[in-house]
Chains A and B, each alone.
Chain A
Amino acid sequence: MKDLKKLAEALGVNADDRAVAPLVALEKVFRPMAERLGPADDIAVVLEREDEA
């Protein structure tokens, strides 16, 4: 979510404050957490249960 305005312009999506401002706020909470992740932190892969099929 860095350089959001530039990314928005590059992708051709709405780059005004209504689209970007909430992500700037989100970035402030999310980025420090993401930077704390270590190599042992995996994704939980969940197999579907029978009744989900």
Chain B
Amino acid sequence: MIAATARRLRAKEVSSVELTNECLKQIDQLNPKLNAFITVMGDAARLKAAALDKELAAGHDRGPLHGVPVAVKDLFFTKGVRTTAGAKVFSDFVPDFDADVVIRLEAAGAVIVGKTGLHECAYGITSNNPHFGAVRNPHDTDRIPGGSSGGSGAAVAAGIVAMAMGTDTGGSIRIPASFCGCAGLKPTLGRVSKKGCFPLGFTLDHMGPLARTVDDCAITLAALSNWAAPKPARIDGLRIGRPGNYFFDRVDPEVRAAVDAALRKVEALGARVVPIRVPDVDELNAVARVLLLPEATAALESHLHKRDQFGVDVLALFDQGRLVTGTDYVQAQRLRKIFIRDFNRLWSEVDCWVTPATPTPAPLIGQTTIAIDGVDEDVRLATTRFMRGINVLGFPALSIPCGKSVAGLPLGLQIVGPAWREDVVLRAGAAME
């Protein structure tokens, strides 16, 4: 989509000002229903678009994002523009500098039209925000878009922007991608600068795009980092792992069938689907939680005495963070190294592996438990259990749509690759989408 828009801009079929105005019009029409945006930057976006049109006319081409309207999660600092983190305690916070992600996007010529809604402090998966209202799923507005980057998922899925930035500490890019039916890339840990983004998990936070296509994720990653997109490659001979344990054990049958259908598709294109066994993911997820709880509490500690300014769900997590001892946090970091070593052994068998992204389609707003294969689970823990551990490993992971449920809700799959090999997950994703 971004590449096609870039071609239209260069062919003078459309201008950045026209694209931006259309985008702002859609926000006016759809945001009352979806609540995808907390702040709209209309005037600044129009001025920026006009300047970018002039640049392009003068022959200064910044690349495929030049003149393309995008959005960023309201977790990224924007100089002079309110940045709330979806939290009441930051509702009047106006940064005096831009996040590195914002600097990179603007240097690439993107037009930032607004700041998207999120779960409070990016600490949850519903985006049902007690201070800024619930973000709603464009496919069914009674359902959550996922989170924490729910506004970004909703804005992309509704067709308002081609790309919206998210952050991912335990699935917060990939979950909204799965529930909203778009692509979401969590790059390798450290690939994209975190500077100027509110922290949640200091050693678990990743920054990445939600977009309509895998190619749009690749274009965005190239703008955000020093990663260079390789030339498109066929997937003949690509070894794709299908875990025989954990990831397909307790899953909505529609999700399982959709992921397996996608695997059959790439097999027909020449990839080899290889059965694998992964190390204990319940244990890996436990490590993830022991790491995140105190990191998140540390990140917000100076504000936590204002208890009445936090939602009940995030406050319970911040309290839990105080109950994890320093000793256990260190043990979790030591265990992390063992898990990275054990999971790295898989790369001798396969080039990437594929799992369901979320075990179910999007739950209803306000739903707290969900039945999967006859077992009632907490919605937050169920939704994150295929993703949370990947943040501990730091591997790149891509969520892409793989069909719809009978009820018409998007279903997603996740592709996980070796550290620094975003090219592999994007290549597999492009073949599967």
Contact = CB atoms under 8 A, between A and B. Distances in A.
Interface of A: 1, 4, 7-8, 11, 13-14, 18-20, 22-23, 26, 29-30, 33-34, 37, 41-44, 46, 48-53
B243 to A, nearest CB: 19
Interface string B110-149: 0000000000000000000000000000000000000000
**Which of A7, A34, A41 has the largest number of chain B CB atoms within 10 A?**
A34
A25 to B, nearest CB: 9
B324 A1 contact: yes
Given A11-B323, A13-B322, A43-B337, A51 B316 contact: no
B286 A33 contact: yes
Closest 3 CB pairs of A and B: A29-B286, A34-B331, A19-B319
Q: In which size bucket is the chain B interface?
A: 20 to 34
Contact of A37 (B190, B225, B320, B334): B334
Contacts of B319: 8, 13-14, 19
A43 B320 contact: no
Contacts of A52: 190, 193-194
The SS class assigned to the A binding surface is: helix
Interface in B244-296: 282-283, 286-287, 289-290
B226 to A, nearest CB: 5
Contacts of B191: 51
A37 B225 CA distance: 36
B52 interface: no
13 contacts: A1-B324, A13-B322, A18-B316, A23-B323, A30-B290, A34-B328, A34-B331, A37-B331, A42-B334, A44-B336, A48-B190, A49-B190, A52-B193
Contact of B335 (A14, A19, A33, A49): A33
A1 B320 CA distance: 10
